[in-house]
Amino acid sequence: MSRSRLRPVPVLLTALLLGACGHRIEPQHLRPTAPAANGGRPVSDPPPSRIVLHATVFREALIRKMAESLPRTGEGDAQVFAGQRVHYTWQREPVTLRFDRGRVVVGVAVHGRFNLLGERTLPLTLTLAGEPVMTPDFQALLQSTEVQVVASGPVESVNRAIEATLRDTVMKTVDTFRFDVRPLLSRAFEQLARPIEIPVGDQVACAELKVTSLEAAPTVLADGLEKDLGIVVMPSVTLPCTPEASLRAPPPPETASPGTPDTGDAGDTRLASYTPPAPGPEVSVPPPPPARPPVPIPLLQNVSTLPSGPFRVVVPVAARYEELSRALETSMNGRLYFSASNPELYMERPQVYPSHDSVVIRMNLGGKAQVGGYAVPVGGELFFAGHPHVLDNQLSVPDLEIAPGTASELVKLKFALDYASIRDQARQALRVDVSERLAAVKDKLSTELSFAEDQGCVRGQVLRSEVTGVHPHANFLRIYVQVDAQLGLYMPCKQ
């Protein structure tokens, strides 16, 4: 009698359990939505950053440039008296340079010679002073210049003639004097503008530092010229990589354009200058290598001040939700068995997607649970939610919790499920190493920007980096990396 009264109890529990498995509460706001349409490049979320390049032109570089500009020798004729003319020659000594009250002062000793009742020497001193400035097209020059030439020869008329000739010659040289720093800046600019390619699963994302403007602070004279150049960048990330059109490699040229008679255009100069090797019996002629178009550099804007010293820039990197789902499934070895009391219960097929500022993980629940001596098949879905963080180069969700009201009634009734075990194992499984991506950001502002050429060199150094935020977007997680670095340009290059 008592046995018959007790027998319906397991049946009732089983019926309740099975009914619970079929009924699930799944709020729509935790359901994955369709990915955002890729209608163009995403808007950059990080604020504009300013990269400060400290340019130093040493004294020897200025002296060498001035020496290349000033003529070494010259000659002319001077009228002395009674219509008689005297031919003279002159030769200068090495250039000296000093700085005086914000001006560059160039001094040159000149030796003149002429023949008047015998060969005579004519010592001269030449002094050139001017204020160094940089034009918007990156040309360093002297403005507000003054030229003084003093001759100390025995014949006054010859002195005045040579003084006037040298003064005119030097003034023409000063008017055309340009110290072009564009080659070094162009190389640094192209290195900076090149996208940071980041492998993200089976695709490649790219973070860009789009340069919007260039600024120049006033020149400081300290045994050379020193100037801070500010490069204003707008960081952005795209997945897949879709860089600016100016940064894309052009398609290989097909044939050289014959040009038009009206314009005299000779076609592609790269093709015109390319000489293919003579083909042999089994030698194919390789096509000319495609050239990357130069990246346009904005004009320089002279400003009253710039923040000097190390700079700070925020660079975004990306992680796809599909990549997180695969990483989680790999960590689970396909299925995650989580319950000690019900070892046949498991979770599988994780899917990671965003929900507002959180990351949601949806898993399928399967296996069998022991209820009243019966092995009952279990099916349903579990939803976890939390906020992503990066710690020690590991992307994780440390506050991951089972979302309330998202599991089946089986979970809601807490039948044989260990909440802490599920949560802790899910937290541990969802870890993605992003150190390679963070290293790519460091290389961009250090190794890639460090190079040397004949004219000078550029050196970059990352002082520290820090992940300041992880934000879910429609198609990927955007990780903000704050980098403190310093960048210097030196002409000539010194250790």
User: Do 314 and 333 fall within a single domain?
Assistant: no
- Give the total residue count for the chain: 495
Instruction: Give the mean model confidence (pLDDT) for residues 17-26.
Output: 37
Give the three-class secondary structure for 428: helix
- How does pLDDT run across 44-72, given as a tens digit for each residue? 467 788 999 999 989 998 899 888 888 88
DSSP 265: -
Which alpha helices (H) appear in 268-398, and where do they start and end? 269-272, 321-331
More confident residue, 269 or 282: 282
Give the three-class secondary structure for 168: helix
User: Do 347 and 364 fall within a single domain?
Assistant: yes
User: Do 329 and 377 fall within a single domain?
Assistant: yes
User: Do 310 and 441 fall within a single domain?
Assistant: yes
User: Do 120 and 187 fall within a single domain?
Assistant: no
Q: Would you give the end-to-end CA distance of the chain in angstroms? A: 99
**Range name among 304-313, 399-408, 442-451 with the lowest pLDDT average:** 399-408
User: Do 198 and 306 fall within a single domain?
Assistant: yes
Query: Percent of the chain at pLDDT above 90?
Result: 9
- How does pLDDT run across 282-339, given as a tens digit for each residue? 545 555 545 555 667 888 888 888 888 899 988 888 888 887 888 788 877 888 887 7
Cα-based angle 273, 277, 282 (whole degrees, multiple of 5):
150
Tokens encoding 474: 């429609």
Number of domains in the chain: 3
Tell me which residue range forms the domain holding 124. 59-180
The confidence score (pLDDT) of residue 54 equals: 92
Tokens encoding 405: 């009201």
Residue where a domain stops, chosen among 380, 401, 431: 431
Which residues have C-beta within 8 Å of that of residue 434, sequence separation ≥ 6? 317, 319, 390, 393, 394, 395, 479
Contact 477, 457 (CB under 8 A): no
- Alpha-carbon distance of 389 to 213, in angstroms, equals 33
Give Cα 174 distance to the centre of its chain.
Answer: 37
User: Do 115 and 212 fall within a single domain?
Assistant: no
Tokens encoding 31: 């359901």
Q: Looking at this protein, which amino acid is placed at residue 428?
A: Q
- Confidence tier at 93 by pLDDT (50, 70, 90): very high
Quickly count: other Cβ atoms within 10 Å of residue 110's Cβ: 20
Contact 381, 408 (CB under 8 A): yes
Question: Among 39, 22, 12, 17, which Cα is nearest to 380's?
Answer: 22
The confidence score (pLDDT) of residue 259 equals: 37
User: Do 314 and 456 fall within a single domain?
Assistant: yes
**pLDDT of 18 higher than 70:** no
The confidence score (pLDDT) of residue 105 equals: 93
Cα-based angle 420, 421, 426 (whole degrees, multiple of 5):
100
**pLDDT of 369 higher than 50:** yes
- Alpha-carbon distance of 404 to 385, in angstroms, equals 9
The pairing of strands 224-238 and 203-216 is antiparallel
- Residue 276 belongs to a domain: no
Give the three-class secondary structure for 208: strand
- Alpha-carbon distance of 366 to 348, in angstroms, equals 8
Instruction: Give the mean model confidence (pLDDT) for residues 421-437.
Output: 76
User: Do 370 and 393 fall within a single domain?
Assistant: yes
User: Do 332 and 406 fall within a single domain?
Assistant: yes
DSSP 245: G
User: Do 73 and 130 fall within a single domain?
Assistant: yes
- Residue 231 belongs to a domain: yes
Instruction: Give the mean model confidence (pLDDT) for residues 360-386.
Output: 80
The pairing of strands 224-238 and 49-58 is antiparallel
- Residue 19 belongs to a domain: no
- Residue 192 belongs to a domain: yes
Residue where a domain stops, chosen among 413, 431, 449: 431
The confidence score (pLDDT) of residue 486 equals: 92
Looking at residue 157, which CATH number applies to its domain? 3.15.10.40
Beta bridge partners of 351: 362
Q: Using omega within 30 degrees of 0 as the cis cutoff, is the peptide bond preceding 154 cis?
A: no
User: Do 313 and 329 fall within a single domain?
Assistant: no
Contact 487, 445 (CB under 8 A): yes
DSSP 413: T
Which residues have C-beta within 8 Å of that of residue 404, sequence separation ≥ 6? none
**Range name among 61-75, 157-171, 235-249, 314-328 with the lowest pLDDT average:** 235-249
- Alpha-carbon distance of 107 to 127, in angstroms, equals 5
Cα-based angle 151, 125, 63 (whole degrees, multiple of 5):
155
- Residue 254 belongs to a domain: no
The model carries a pTM of 0.68
